[in-house]
Chain A
């Protein structure tokens, strides 16, 4: 039986207690997207600014459990200054770690790249043993994907 320590690694609790990149960005120019976890009522708000095909800045708002909040916090730290293509690779790698099959998306990289380094995010690996929590961990990533799509759409003339 998986124990609580498998789920709540110290680094997760650290990001939960002191979340990175909390706050807002002025909209516009930033894009604001909300995500919901219908299971537990968690709400996340992502403020994203994309410039020259890369994440220029990101802020996180909303409320949620330690898993969704720490996942969002770690995500915000890792995607800053990454190109949109790199963010897609990270997203795929993260979802693969969550045992979510990511194939055939329209960005051309169906299989997660083994070279993608998830860093701190690997602490969330234990979530897989608690299947109802996978949605908590992926909420911010799904919301980010939507924010990127919206930001790119408004960037393209």
Chain B
């Protein structure tokens, strides 16, 4: 091989790292060729561009978020299985220390930012406008920008694996370890820029959905008539708006340290690493509430629908959501009780942390009271909801244990902590998102996911979960620390670790069943012809599945919290069907390729900064500015759907 190429291959493609990387390279090249080939063969390029890449339709954007989240769940899951394989037995050298570091870093970062976040955004997009009786979000164009910033941020983070090297300082990325002196490689830059770019998109989403919920509700839908999922989105958006700026600054300052040579978090010249840690968790703790609150919203919808009862304690549910979102700002220091703040500071944060248990408890009891004497149907969304309750209760209890500051000196950074946060993140967020996915899947695609395969997935995943994580509580007590790439046999940790790995494999099988279930159901899944497959309660179930792109031919007027349910009870469902004389032309936003191009420009700029290629960075930023200026001069960004077209569509759906 010529020396120049060899150098390139070793520095950027990491060929000197051995077969694992070669295999991944080959796989990625093959997959990309496969996708390009398939698109060309089926002549789908134009379709891809027109229907998806340029869309501003909230439903399609939601579907793209969902696909991205599932892919990232797969990638993060593969990372998890690699780690568990490495830890199954003592003294294994399947992965070396450096690779293990990279894998737990990418696993944690991807699961939180590129799996959980897009998953909640998928549901925001698909559900909120339909639930509040709107035709789109407040700012559809900005919504597309949000998606593409997320997408290209995630791309930037993910390509580090085969191009330049993955970050390896943990998903928390604490300095001084992440300063240039200790961490030269481009990996950490990939982390900083990937998160920064997708973070800007998340802030925009928070603003967009808050404005949507405040301003776009159908007539008659007062705040206290809003479905609880929409309330949970409102609460999550408030937290996004208040928390994400802290992450933006933490990342930006660390980037300045690394690229410009400032001294915010260095050990020399007066820097203060604790400042990063504070900023990070001022975002980081609220972040876990950002992802759990929408899951709570899903459970509220599912419980009411599948118990066929009005939700118990609606106003206390709303109050609890808002209380959680406020308290979540006052607990961040529980992530570093051991770092030497005084007893007074630790006490404040310990008490505040425990206080979160109160509103959460209110919610759990309200769900249980709703189920009490309900006519419960055990379908997939309900199954995941029922599994959530005990799982989250245990996770919450161990959370309160961790909140006891003096005791935390024992648990801190041990496998006890790992077990705790997986229990709330998986038992809360993942279960919630899966329940939501099963629940609204027919609304998105017009067919249900197969129940039988779904049950296999459910049981594998649930049993696997407890087998995987219960032993880790014990391992924590036995002294096993997190982020250890291996351990000697005489620690006596071997057996429990082996059991834990078996559990992880069971969960992996569960995931494969979900994949199988989706593939199977595309062909054989029960078609949803009524638009209301679960006998639902809220407005989205009054529409056909999938929903026409303008959502509501005529905007409904809302008189009750469970509008659709009440109309069904009183035999008045006809009222929500469009009447010919009421149909008027509808203005819709035009598609635009610019959000995609802008995301791409951000990606180029990010890549430039990662490798300190300043020309590339400047070009990318110029592209961003050009997109913004072009948008500023765009006046003609709407089109009109004529009455005939609406009538035709509605008639074809049998609604006219």
Decide whether A and B assemble into one complex.
no
What is the interface of chain B, defined by CB distance below 8 A to chain A? none
